[in-house]
Amino acid sequence: MKPYNTKCRPIEHMDDKTLIKQIKKGNTHAFEFLVRKYQRLVFHMLYKMGFTQEVVEDLAQEVFIKLYEKIDSFRNESKISTWVASITWRHGIDYKRKKRPMVSPSEDLSSYENLTPSNEEILANLYKEEKQQMVQDAIKKLPYDSQCLINLFYNEEFSYEEISEITKKPLGSVKSMLNRARTRIKEIVSKKYRKELKEEQV
């Protein structure tokens, strides 16, 4: 392994492309920086996938080992964050499949291709309002895959295309699942809100 050249640009100032090149050359400092840079993303995704802290810590370590092992396969065709999230997603899903069946069976969602903007706007507004806990409770009632997609889109702020790349699901299916999830959340929250409003009026 070549020694790290301290005359090079500081690692924290490198762009992602240069960072990956340094890691491929055997620069361990560059990989340590990559770990620090993306550990929040990895930990947050794993927590949102429903794992305990102990499992999250174990899985996160395994994810970064996989990243190091697969670094030569990264071709700069996508963002590092998307690549990291993709490996995290697959590792988390593989772990769940080994431990227990998925929460819900896979569905054919090809018939739900159109997004309803009003639903997306409603969900975005709900996240900002006092009923945020209602939204979180409603999300927990969704199928597991839908919960994960909601997290990737709203919390991690990945685009539809990036989520499709991360999950290896067709773009149309990602849009359809998110649309169905938004609609279902709206229904659950609206029903609970009407119930609470009715109780307050009694």
pLDDT in tens, 62-97: 999 999 998 888 877 778 889 999 999 989 988 888
Would you state the pLDDT for residue 50? 86
Average the pLDDT over each of 13-17, 30-34, 44-48 and give the range with the smallest value.
13-17
Domain with CATH 1.10.10.10 in the chain: 117-201
Average the pLDDT over each of 10-24, 67-81, 185-199 and give the range with the smallest value.
185-199
Would you state the pLDDT for residue 160? 93
What is the overall mean pLDDT for the chain? Answer: 78
Identify the three-state secondary structure at position 7: coil
Domain with CATH 1.10.1740.10 in the chain: 11-99
Most confident of 8-17, 122-131, 167-176: 167-176
Could you please report the per-residue DSSP string of 72-120? GG--SSS-HHHHHHHHHHHHHHHHHHHHS--SS-----TT-----HHHH
Would you state the pLDDT for residue 15? 80
- Length of the chain counted residue by residue: 202
CATH topology of domain 117-201: Arc Repressor Mutant, subunit A (1.10.10)
Better-scored residue on pLDDT, 59 or 112: 59
**11-99 under CATH 1.10.1740.10, yes or no:** yes
Residue 106, pLDDT above cutoff 50: no
Would you state the pLDDT for residue 176? 95
Which pTM value belongs to this model?
0.64
Select from 199, 190, 50, 176 the least CA-distant residue to 126.
190
Residue 193, pLDDT above cutoff 50: yes
* DSSP label at residue 170: -
Contacts for 38 with CB less than 8 Å, ≥ 6 apart: 80, 81, 84
